[in-house]
Chain A
Amino acid sequence: KAGVTQTPRYLIKTRGQQVTLSCSPISGHRSVSWYQQTPGQGLQFLFEYFSETQRNKGNFPGRFSGRQFSNSRSEMNVSTLELGDSALYLCASSLNLNNEQFFGPGTRLTVL
């Protein structure tokens, strides 16, 4: 079975721009979660989707948003990028809620 895939793997943007990151879960998995990883703050939960519904949201500003499609693929969007948004964004999928999560390789976002 193919693992979690994330596109693009690397992205460079400038302040004020917006960005969309994509995540394809493992086939059959219905839950997708997103995390931000930075050297200073570590791994922080962004949000979780299950059956196209946001089930849980972390403590991030409204510039961070996401969605899930009927095929369980998910996207997250960050608008009005700030330097502090530079991070590794990780997507994880699980079969259902409360199952173990399997992570993708991440998208490395650099904001200049």
Chain B
Amino acid sequence: AQSVTQLGSHVSVSEGALVLLRCNYSSSVPPYLFWYVQYPNQGLQLLLKYTSAATLVKGINGFEAEFKKSETSFHLTKPSAHMSDAAEYFCAVNDNQGGKLIFGQGTELSVKP
């Protein structure tokens, strides 16, 4: 069965510091992987997706993620955090069998001035 694990339910960084949000997945088939962001009282916004093309995926708002099959990881990074990046981030996997996304538990990112 597929699963997603996000290490750290809470990550706090200073403005301008590197953001690193961790995601590990398990899947019996080559997966599609996604990162979504959720701001308070809003739905989910797609940041980026991996669909078996380039292993380094660039997304919106300066975020990127690298697919590492050997580590079954898809960590999200941003070189320099902004206050506006404070939100909850979700990693998700899709087994290419339709629209069912399996989500991690989420990581709340706080950005200190």
Contacts and interface: CB of A to CB of B under 8 A. Distances in A.
Contact of B98 (A97, A102, A104): A97
A48 interface: yes
B99 A4 contact: no
| Size bracket of the A interface | 20 to 34
B99 A92 contact: yes
Contacts of A105: 41-43
Contacts of B101: 33, 35, 43, 45, 92, 101
For chain B, what secondary structure do more than half of its interface residues adopt (helix, strand, loop), or is it mixed? strand
A90 B101 CA distance: 12
Interface in A85-106: 90, 92, 94, 97-98, 100-106
A105 B42 CA distance: 5
B77 interface: no
Interface of A: 4, 31, 33, 35, 42-45, 48, 50, 55-56, 58, 90, 92, 94, 97-98, 100-106
Give the top 3 A-B pairs by smallest Cβ distance, nearest first: A103-B43, A43-B103, A48-B99
11 contacts: A33-B100, A48-B98, A55-B98, A56-B98, A56-B99, A98-B94, A98-B98, A100-B49, A101-B46, A101-B99, A103-B43
